[in-house]
């Protein structure tokens, strides 16, 4: 697994707050975001109490939530404006196929990384392989296929610039928008 460097640009873009008891300004944290390293997207997260079941393990459906967050972040960082397309009535992505394998459990307070990579691109579809890791250990991995749909739920061609972005990622090209 790739070691992730600190994000100076992220730190610099945080809002600053000055504490009345302190004479220095401190950055406020920004929402969690991932990063592309070459053609793979890395999305960090932490397991919270709400993610676990009575046994203290991550509830199985929450791995799907982690993967969804990572995919949404990956698209946002790749300049694929899902919200804009939704608001303009152009279309949205919907999951059409999902295969998931649970290998090991995650526990409360674990630091996890969701690693995503594009594996196939079609006129109206995209497939992404995702793995949830704790360090070098793969906890869960899955393959997700999505289709671009009209607001009425019918398949529609993805915007050409989006197909180009997915194709570059699928070929393993370094991607830095």
Q: What is the pLDDT of residue 1?
A: 46
Q: Report the domain count for the chain.
A: 1
Catalytic residues: 53
Q: What is the pLDDT of residue 86?
A: 86
- pLDDT tens sequence for the chain (177 residues): 444 444 444 444 445 555 556 566 778 888 889 999 989 999 999 999 999 999 999 999 999 999 999 999 999 999 999 889 889 988 999 999 999 999 999 999 999 999 999 999 999 999 999 999 999 999 999 999 999 999 899 999 999 999 999 999 999 887 665
Domain residues for the domain of 86 are 32-170
| pTM of full prediction above 0.95 | no
CA 18 to CA 94: how far, in whole Å?
Answer: 43
The CA-CA-CA angle for residues 163, 94, 50, to 5°, reads 120
Q: What is the pLDDT of residue 144?
A: 98
Q: What is the pLDDT of residue 13?
A: 46
User: Quick check: is 16 in a domain?
Assistant: no
User: Quick check: is 27 in a domain?
Assistant: no
User: Quick check: is 38 in a domain?
Assistant: yes
User: Quick check: is 155 in a domain?
Assistant: yes
Q: Secondary structure of the chain in the HEC alphabet?
A: CCCCCCCHHHHHHCCEEECCCCCCEEECCCCCCCEEECCEEEEEEECCHHHECCCCEECHHHHHHHHHHHHHHHHHHCCCCHHHHHHCCCCEEEEEEEEEEECCCCECCCEEEEEEEEEEECCCEEEEEEEEEECCEEEEEEEEEEEEECCCCCECCCCHHHHHHHHHHHCCCCCCC
Domain CATH number, residue 138 = 3.10.129.10
The string of pLDDT tens digits covering residues 110-136 is: 999 999 999 999 999 999 999 999 999
User: Quick check: is 18 in a domain?
Assistant: no
User: Quick check: is 104 in a domain?
Assistant: yes
User: Quick check: is 175 in a domain?
Assistant: no
User: Quick check: is 123 in a domain?
Assistant: yes
């Amino acid at each position: 697994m790739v070691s992730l460097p600190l994000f100076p640009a992220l730190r610099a873009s945080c809002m600053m707050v000055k504490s009345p008891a302190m004479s220095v300004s401190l950055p406020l944290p920004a929402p969690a975001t991932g990063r592309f390293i070459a053609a793979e997207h890395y999305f960090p997260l932490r397991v919270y109490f709400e993610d676990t079941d009575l046994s203290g393990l991550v509830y199985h459906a929450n791995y799907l939530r982690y993967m969804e967050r990572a995919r949404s972040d990956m698209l946002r960082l790749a300049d694929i404006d899902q919200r804009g397309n939704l608001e303009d009535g152009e279309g949205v992505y919907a999951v059409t196929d999902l295969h998931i394998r649970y290998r090991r459990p995650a526990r409360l307070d674990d630091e996890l990384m969701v690693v995503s990579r594009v594996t196939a691109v079609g006129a109206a579809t995209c497939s992404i392989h995702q793995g949830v890791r704790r360090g070098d250990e793969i906890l869960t991995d899955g393959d997700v296929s999505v289709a671009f749909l009209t607001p009425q739920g019918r398949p529609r061609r993805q915007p050409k610039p989006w197909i180009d972005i997915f194709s570059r990622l699928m070929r393993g090209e370094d991607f830095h928008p």
